[in-house]
Chain A
Amino acid sequence: MYKKTALNFLLLFSSTLLLAQAKYTVSGTVKEKSSGEMLIGVSITIEEKANVGVITNEYGFYSLSLPQGKYTLRFSYIGYEHKLISVELNSNVTENVDLEDGIFLQEAVVTSRKYDDNLTTSAMGTEILSMKTAAVVPVLLGEKDLVKTILLMPGMKSNGEGSNGFSVRGGTADQNLILLDAAPVYNASHLLGIFSTFNSDAIKDATIIKGNSPAQFGGRLSSVLDVKMKEGNNKTYQASGGIGLISSRLTIEGPLFQKEKSSFIISGRRTYVDIFARLSSDFKDVELYFYDLNVKANFAINNKNKIYFSGYFGKDVLAVSDLFGSNWGNATGTLRWNSVLSSKLFSNTSLIYSNYDFNLGFQNDGSEINYNSKIKDLNLKQDFSFYPNSQNTLRFGFNLIHHNITPAKAKGMNIVSNKNNREGLENSVYISNSLKASDKINIDYGLRFSFYSILGGDTYNIYQNNELVESVKLANGKVDKTYYNFEPRISINYRVNNTSSLKAAYARNTQHLHLMSNSTGGSPTDQWIGNSYNIKPEIADQISFGFSKNFNENMFELNAETYYKSMQNQIDYKDGADINIVQDIESQLLFGKGRAYGLEILLKKNKGKLTGWIGYTLSKTERKINGINNDEWYNAKYDRTHDLSVVGIYNLTPQWTLSCTFIYSTGNAVTFPTGKYVLNGMTIYQYDNRNADRMPVTHRLDISLTYEVPSNGKYRSSWNFGLYNVYGRQNPYSINFKENKDNPQKIDAEQLSLFRWIPSITYNFKF
């Protein structure tokens, strides 16, 4: 059956190639005028031909093939002035374009795409967020945070205050692929989840794709969060930075070697909240800080070839005198080579390194115990974009990843631990095509073929019905069991009329790396494990339907989507499993399936003094795991029926901007005790169905007020005042049950809340 599917796909692709009969090609790159930053997703349309158009790829490149003739190209991108360029196609033409930003300077920008893009693109479940939006949305402690802002979109659920983990369409935190310049980031949080690892000064934009990702992405079930770093100003040198009470930042950027061709950016950040905390005697011996460093450089070899290097290094440290110490961090590096092989063929080759490690040490009776775990990836990625004619954009390529995982193991005096590193190869090839079938229909379709191989070097135990049946010792370097998966993807957009469109999509995703966590996600002690003989690739099939309508000349934009997702080979743990200590974690696992469905509605106001959006999600997500809840379906932890977020940005005057967010969501599904009994003098709680109860609802209002000081010339400054949780709602973080101190027969439910009324003040200046 797989063979037949593959054959059909091949036919589909070859037919598009046969259609290729265009005469000449106009191609080039689109940049921001002031800094020379590449612009991604700029829409290029032809005034003379309604159904022809293309968008710039991740490197600002575009290519359009048209019959001989005279054309007017329209370049449009929200937040930038559109540009019309006339070309006469008698031969292949290169047209590099600079767009000027700032026509909407007085207006906050909600989306960074063309206003009616939602009607023409077939991409489903996709949201793009620019740092311009993130800059004005109020956040905890006033630190701009891309991840926190993107969680205000429908279908995305934060795992709670003080956590950067999130759940997309009923998935778990580990089912999100988080990429920083194509390098996977395994733990995207700092300071126990209060901040994300993304330093806003160094980030260009971020795209979240909720399950219907194009075929070039893969490896996670629920979503792709694709974060891109800035390239640096290639026209003038600039230094910017900030000194604050809890953190300091410094960014330097400028041209490298040749002006307007190459550039670099270095951006660093460190918090030192602990230095002030130590002034209080309670925290005298506490160390608690993080730092991170983003570096990026690009170098143009010639007009057709460009080399990029980007790197990230971040570390968290948490220690209490010499009793306890821990540190964890990510390091990533990406070396890329962009090449315009012809006016129709664009190539990108990336060599990617990624490392996440975690160390924890306890002082215990003069001897020390250390826990350490690590995941190290080496990754080669090749992507081609091929523009055969004005109707088709073909993408194909491959990805080879070598994973090396050190499981959490204890080290120290008298400790015997014989856990070994495990290695795996995660490979894939893909092909996809974006077809403008008519002026009303766009189709994106593709196929990804992924295969994961277990590599030797460790002993693998095989369990059946919870019993060990076989141990397989694999010699170093030996390639053993390989899992093969086909992942077809398709999405269709039908433009009903000028203001509305209908969409449908199907996608299969597979996942070969799985997070083992006793917590709710985002804990530094979480560890990853690859496929094995027991752990099979997780598979998700998602089908979705959507409707988009724009009103009042694109002032309002309504997007509604429904989805149904079915998941196979989901993982949970046996009762009493302590995954950090147990010798073979695989002996503690249970397997089953999951399903999730829902409706997401997003209403945006794109223009005017008041801009913003309302996002609402109605959803359900369940699991059925053999050995849990009598093998019956139960609510997954992040099953929240209602989820509402409202974001409003209001320009009071050219100087004053008021913005606020309001969120409301049903409580997480949890298990409360139903009864109690006494055993050996201690009260023990009795439980019934898993996750049949609800935490209290969470709701909160945050506001921020920005004042732009009127500027003379180059020097500009602004004040930002923020208040988190305006009305001091005690939102539930956890609930503990305990005996009442005065009447031990009475059981009290005690709720812990984290943040009430957190004000912040920020002063920004710019010259």
Chain B
Amino acid sequence: MKNIISIIVVALFFTGCTKIIDLDYKGNMSKIVIEGNITNQAGPYFVKITKSVGLTETGVYPTIDDAIVTISDDAGNSELLTPNGNGIYKTSNLIGVEGRTYTLTVETENRTYTAQSAMPEQTPFDSIRVDNITIRGDTEYNLIPAYKDPIEKGNNYRFVLSINNKLINQHFIQNDEVKNGFENTFKLDVNDDDLEPKSGDLINIEMQCIDKKVALFYTTLALIADSGPGGGTTPNNPPNNISNGALGIFSAHTAETKSIIIP
């Protein structure tokens, strides 16, 4: 129909740009936030009780110091934690043991919150492996936690990364869904370009073996943070293991830390 021969000359400018904008935020309902950790390392272990604040508030977070906090395990041990100020409660005799299930109870403001977490068997953290790759002339350092996943399926791991003693605000979760029973080869990918590891940096990684519910909590947080272009996963308060609508997580996990200086 049309003998059109076209020559298209396109001046191509991909001008992606960012700016800080003002938004109208809905009012926030302040909620109890419970942070509890039991590890296989020596105690004491801490439970911290605070309250959430509105997104635009900049002051300190309110704390709760008059709660009744108990932790028990499935071996018949139970302990009432002592308040230590700033919303922190401390154990004195409790010992974290792999394979045991721990129950946390918090009574405050006429409500009772309970949570359960099972400490998995420890998978040894062998070392931090640093691979360097040259892309576009720049050297990038990949941080790979080296460990051998046990043959039983269903292991979940969480990594806490600090670079030069600065905690990286990212949720690193790995599991054995795709590769079960092998040496790990997946890296911890730092999203913020300004914080990417470079030569001479001190790297600290704590490896935690965590239970399924704790893993789901952190995986959901990681997916929300990833949602990037177009806003993929709809953000939500991640499902946690604490009853009665409290925010936060109670985690019984193993802990092992390695550090390395990038050559």
Contacts and interface: CB of A to CB of B under 8 A. Distances in A.
Do A and B come together as binding partners? yes
Interface of A: 32, 34-35, 37, 141-143, 159-160, 162-163, 201, 230, 233, 238-247, 249, 273, 281-282, 284-285, 320-321, 323, 364-365, 367, 369, 410, 414-417, 518-520, 575-576, 578, 581-583, 637, 668, 670-693, 696, 730, 733-737, 739, 743, 745-767
Interface string B1-25: 1111111111111111111111101
Given A160-B230, A746-B58, A753 B18 contact: yes
Contacts of A679: 33, 35, 247-249
A637 B220 CA distance: 19
Nearest to B1: A35
Contacts of B9: 244-245, 760-763
Contacts of B18: 750-753
B15 A142 contact: no
Given A676-B53, A688-B26, A688-B29, A244 B232 contact: no
Given A364-B185, A747-B55, A696 B21 contact: yes
Interface in B9-68: 9-23, 25-31, 33, 35, 37, 50-56, 58-59, 61
B97 to A, nearest CB: 22
A243 B237 contact: no
B6 A688 contact: no
Contact of A247 (B8, B22, B52): B8
Contacts of A240: 2-5
Contacts of B37: 680
Given A142-B10, A747-B55, A672 B25 contact: yes
A690 B61 contact: no
Q: Provide the main secondary structure of the chain B interface.
A: loop
B11 A761 contact: yes
Given A679-B247, A746-B58, 15 more contacts: A201-B4, A369-B178, A518-B232, A518-B233, A519-B230, A576-B239, A675-B54, A676-B55, A692-B26, A735-B231, A745-B59, A751-B19, A753-B16, A757-B15, A764-B7
Contacts of B160: 680
A520 B238 contact: no
Contacts of A414: 179, 182
10 contacts: A240-B3, A245-B12, A323-B133, A670-B231, A672-B23, A680-B35, A686-B55, A734-B228, A756-B17, A758-B13
A417 to B, nearest CB: 7
A765 B179 contact: no
Nearest to B178: A410
A628 to B, nearest CB: 8
A249 B2 CA distance: 14
Contacts of A681: 167
Contacts of A737: 55
A246 B131 contact: no
Contacts of A671: 234-236
Contacts of B135: 285, 320-321, 323
Given A163-B230, A576-B216, A766 B14 contact: no
- Residue from B4, B17, B221 having most chain A Cβ neighbours under 10 A: B4
Nearest to A582: B177
A364 B59 CA distance: 44
A764 B12 CA distance: 19
B223 interface: yes
Given A365-B131, A674-B25, A677-B61, A764 B178 contact: no
B243 interface: no
Contacts of A674: 25-29, 54-55
Contacts of A750: 18-21
B72 interface: no
B137 interface: yes
Contacts of A35: 1
B21 A749 contact: yes
A118 to B, nearest CB: 26
B53 A677 contact: yes
Top 4 A-B residue pairs of the complex, sorted by shortest distance between their CB atoms: A244-B8, A242-B6, A576-B220, A675-B28
Interface in B212-234: 216-217, 219-221, 223-224, 227-234
Nearest to B144: A365
A764 B178 CA distance: 52
Contact of B28 (A583, A688, A758): A688
Nearest to B169: A682
Given A575-B236, A578-B223, A677-B52, A143 B8 contact: yes
B180 interface: yes
Nearest to A751: B21
Contacts of B227: 734
Interface residues of B, number: 83
Contacts of B16: 733, 752-755
Contacts of B169: 682-683, 739
- Residue from B52, B247, B249 having most chain A Cβ neighbours under 10 A: B52
Given A35-B1, A576-B239, A683-B169, A246 B28 contact: no
A371 B6 CA distance: 38
A252 to B, nearest CB: 11
- Residue from B9, B10, B61 having most chain A Cβ neighbours under 10 A: B10
A627 B186 CA distance: 32
B129 to A, nearest CB: 9
B14 A755 contact: yes
A641 B44 CA distance: 55
A583 B8 contact: no
B185 A367 contact: yes
B136 interface: yes
A766 B235 CA distance: 53
A242 B7 contact: yes
A245 B7 CA distance: 8
A558 to B, nearest CB: 32
Interface in B149-201: 160, 167, 169, 171, 177-180, 182, 185-186
A691 B26 CA distance: 12
B223 A576 contact: yes
Contacts of A518: 223, 232-233
- Residue from B5, B186, B235, B238 having most chain A Cβ neighbours under 10 A: B5
Nearest to B185: A365
A765 B58 contact: no
B13 A757 contact: yes
Contact of B234 (A320, A690, A734, A757): A690
Contacts of A670: 231, 234
A201 B5 CA distance: 10
Contacts of B232: 518-520
Contacts of A684: 221, 247
Contacts of A230: 1
A688 B5 CA distance: 56
Nearest to B251: A680
Contacts of B14: 754-755
- Residue from A416, A576, A734 having most chain B Cβ neighbours under 10 A: A576
B56 A747 contact: yes
A677 B247 contact: yes
A683 B30 CA distance: 15
